[in-house]
Amino acid sequence: MTSLHAEVAVRRGAFALDVTIAAHPGEIVGVLGPNGAGKSTLLAVLAGHLVPSAGVVRVGERTLTAVWDQRVESAVRPEHRSVGLLGQDPLVFPHLSARENVAFGPRATGTSAARARVVADEWLAAVGLAGLADRRPDALSGGQRQRVALARALAAEPAVLLLDEPFAQLDVRTAAELRELVREQVRRTRTATVLVTHDVLDAVTLADRVVVLHDGQVVEQGRPLDVLTDPVHPFTAALAGVNLVVGTLVALPDGSTALAGPDGVVVPCASQRPGGRAQVTFSPSAVTIGDGWSATVVDLEPGTTGVRLRTSGDVLVDLPPAQVAQLGLHVGAQVRLSVPAEHVRVRPLT
Amino acid sequence: MTRERAVGVPGLLWLPAALAAGLLVLPVVALLVRADWRSLPADITTPSALDALWLSLSTSVVATVVCLVLGVPLAVVLARAHGWPADLLRALVTLPLVLPPTVGGIALLYLLGRRGLVGQTLDTWFGISIPFTTTAVVIAQAFVAMPFLVLSVEGALRTAGTRFDVVAASLGAGRWTVLSRITLPLVMPGLVSGTVLSFARALGEFGATALFAGNSPGVTQTMPLAIYSAFNGAGVTQGTAVALSLLLVFAAVAVLLAARAWRPGRAA
C-alpha cells in the first residue's frame, strides 16, 4: 500500500523525455501517447532497466532511482524494486505449469515451497483459473495465459504494477473480462498502477487519471472524461474521435464571430470576440452537410454509427449510410459542411 | 482417403540428394560388408581393444564435463555481451572448428609442452608435465569439442532472448535464480544437442590427441588412435581396425539416437 512518485528526464540524441507521474495506492494512471512518445522509455526507467539522465523514482519511502547532476545516487536493481510488469505478451514461462509460474515470485523471494503453492492456488482462483493450475502454458488460451501472467505479477506483491498494453493481443470479449479483473485486483490489493496504452477504451474503463505524452512531453492530463471530452492536443482529439481545429477568430458579415481554420473551415464561436487565435473541438456527428464551408471528401471508412468521412481540413463527419448513398458521396466529392454553434467548444489560445 | 499435397520437390533435386546420401552412408555400409563377422567378437574383446574403448569413453565423458562446466558460462557471457571485443572473442572461439586438429595439437604443445608458454612454468614450479598423459587426451578433446557446445548454447540463448529473464527479475528473482530456473531451462534443447555434439566430437578426436598426447596404449591410445595403429599393421591385422571402427560407429549411433529420443516437454 504505497504510492509511486516519479520525475524522469531522459536525453537520447534528439529525443527528450520529461515526465512527472504519480499514482496513489489502488490508483490506475493511464499514460497515453502515439508510438515514439516515450511511453516505453518511461516504463523502462520505472522498472529499473534504464537509468535516466536525471530524475527520481520513489515508491513509498524508498528511493529506487535518483540521478542528479550526472551523478547516479541510487539505482536499485530490477529484482529489488518490487515493480511488477504485465505486457501485451503474457510471457508465461513455457517450461513451468500455471501454478509454478504464479509461485515463481514468492519462491524467488524466499517463501517455502508449500506456502508458495497455497499462495499460487489462491491467486489462480482469484483470476478464475482454479481448475487449471497443473496446465502447461501451451495448453492454455491467450486470455488464460494473460490471467496467469496477472496472477503471477500480483502474487509477487509488487508495490507498483506496470501495465504495458496488456489487452492489445486479446479478442474484444476477453479483453473486457481482463480489464474488469485488473481493475478489481488493483483496487483490492491497493497497488499503485501505471497503465501504458494507446487504446482509448483502456483509458476510459480503467484509468482514474490519464497523462497524455507527445514527443516525450506531457501535453495534457486529468480525469479521462475531462481530457477526452475537451482535448487540448490533436493526438488526444484523434484518440477521442473529436474534431480539433486551430485558427483565427474573425468577424462574419452578420456580425457574429467564427473561427477560420485551414482549408476554408469556418466554425461559429458566438461567445468570442474577433481577433486572436483559438482552438475549437466538436464531434464528427455534430457536423451537418448541405451548406457552409466547401470541402473535399478525402476518405470514407466505417464509423461507429454509420460512415465516417474524412474531409479536407482534417474534419471528420459521421453520416448515416443511407445519407451517404443518397448524396452519392465518394472520394474527391465536393460537399458543404457546417457545425451548429451549440456543439462547439472553444478554447482561446494565448 | 484424402492426402494433402505439398508443393513438392523439383525432380532434378533427387539425383544430387541421392548422391549426397550415398556419400554419407555408403562408406559405413562398405565397412559393414568388409567386416569379418566371425572374428569380430574376438577382435573387439582383446585387452588392447577394451583398453582403448574404456579410455575413449572415460576421457570423452570427462572432456564433455569440462566443456559443460567451462563452455556454458562462456556461452552465457558471449550471448549477453555487446561490442567488438565480444565479436572478436566469438570468432576466436570457433577457431578450433576450422583449424586442422593437427595444428591444434601443435598449438597445445607450444602452450603446455615442457618448453611451452605455460608448460615451462608448470614444469619448473610444480613439476607438472601435461603432454603424453591422459590429462593431455582430455585437454585435446575439450579443445576440439568445446566450440560445438558454446555455439549451440549461445545460439539458443540468443533465440530465447532476455524477455523471460526481465519478467523473472521483476518478480524478485536474483541473477542466479534467473539463470538456473529460467535462462538455462529455456535453452535445454540447445544445451542437450551441444553436449551430444561435443561428446561425439571428443570420441572421434584424433589429430590433436596424436600430436599432443601421443599413442601410448592404455594411457593415451584412444579408439581412433588404436584404429590407426591397427590399420597401419603395427602388430595386428587390418581386421582389428575394421572391428574397432564398427564399435566406434555403434557407439556414435547409440549416442545420436539417445539424443533424438529425448525431447524437452514431450512428456507434458
Do A79 and A211 belong to one domain?
yes
Whole-number pLDDT of residue A81: 93
The ipTM, to two decimals, is 0.81
Domains held by chain A: number: 2
Among A177, A204, A234, residue at a domain's last position: A234
With 50 as the cut, is the pLDDT of residue B266 above it? no
* List of chain A residues whose C-beta atoms are within 8 Å of the C-beta of residue B266: none
Q: Which amino acid is at A205?
A: T
Return the H-helix or E-strand segment holding A293.
strand A288-302
Q: What per-residue confidence (pLDDT) applies to A298?
A: 92
Task: Match 517455502 to its residue by C-alpha cell.
Answer: A112
3-state helix, strand, coil in chain B (%, to 5): 75, 0, 25
Query: Do A48 and A128 belong to one domain?
Result: yes
Q: The domain containing residue A312 runs over which residues? A: 242-349
Could you tell me what percentage of chain A is helix, strand and coil, using 3-state DSSP and rounding each to the nearest 5? 30, 35, 35
Q: Is B80 exposed, middle or buried (0-12, 13-18, 19+ CB in 10 A)?
A: middle
Please report the pLDDT score of residue B262 as a whole number.
64
The pLDDT of residue B265 is above 60: no
Mark yes or no for CB contact B172/A105 under 8 Å: yes
d(CA B224, CA A112): 52
Assign B29 to helix, strand or coil: helix
Flag whether pLDDT at A160 surpasses 90: yes
Residues A189 and A260 occupy one common structural domain: no
| CB proximity under 8 Å: B 126-185 to A | 163-164, 166-175, 177-178, 181-182, 185
- Window 77-116 of A: residues touching B by CB (8 A cutoff) are 77-85, 89, 91, 93-95, 104-105, 108-109
The strand pairing partners of A58, in sequence order, are A5, A63
Pair (A222, A323) in one structural domain: no
* Annotation: CATH topology of B40-261: MetI-like fold (1.10.3720)
Per DSSP, the residues of A302-349 read: E-SSSEEEEETTTEEEEE-HHHHHHHT--TT-EEEEE--GGG-EEEEE
> Which residues, numbered 174 to 193 in chain B, qualify as contacts with chain A under a Cβ-Cβ cut-off of 8 Å?
174-175, 177-178, 181-182, 185-186, 188
Distance CA B253, CA B249 (A): 6
Quick: pLDDT tens for B139-169. Answer: 999 999 999 999 999 999 999 989 999 999 9
Q: What's the CA gap between A181 and A143, in Å, rounded? A: 12
User: For residue range A88-109, what is the model confidence (pLDDT) as tens digits?
Assistant: 899 999 999 999 999 999 999 9
Asked if pLDDT for residue A116 goes beyond 60, the answer is yes
Residues A229, A246: one domain?
no
DSSP assignments along A266-290, one per residue: EEE-TTS-SSSEEEEEE-GGG-EEE
Check residue A240 and give its pLDDT. 85
The CA–CA distances, whole Å, from A245 to A233, A289, A326 equal 10, 18, 28
Q: Taking 70 as the threshold, does the pLDDT of residue B235 lie above it?
A: no
- Answer whether residue B1 shows pLDDT above 60: no
- What percentage of chain B reaches a pLDDT higher than 70? 94
Over range A59-86, report the average pLDDT: 91
Asked if residues B242 and B223 have their Cβ atoms less than 8 Å apart, the reply is no
| The 3-state secondary structure of A78-114, one letter per residue | HHHCCEEEECCCCCCCCCCCHHHHHHHHHHHCCCCHH
Q: Which residue of A has its CA nearest to B167?
A: A85
DSSP 8-class letter at A17:
E
CA dihedral A106, A107, A109, A112 (to 10 degrees): 100
- pLDDT at residue B259 greater than cutoff 80: no
Question: Are residues A173 and A81 part of one domain?
Answer: yes
Residues A202 and A315 in one domain: no
Q: Could you tell me if A73 and A204 lie in one domain?
A: yes
Q: Where are the domains of chain B?
A: 40-261
A314: pLDDT strictly greater than 50: yes
Q: Which of B162, B171, B186 to mutate to test the interface with A (most CBs of A within 10 A)?
A: B171
Q: Are residues A147 and A261 in the same domain?
A: no
Which of A210, A234, A258 corresponds to the end of one domain?
Answer: A234
Please give the pLDDT value at position A171.
86
pLDDT (0 to 100) of residue B5: 73
Among residues A190, A215, A234, the one where a domain terminates is A234
Which H or E run contains B11? none
- CB atoms B177 and A47 under 8 Å: no
- β-strand partners of A164: A196
- Tell me the CATH number at A120: 3.40.50.300
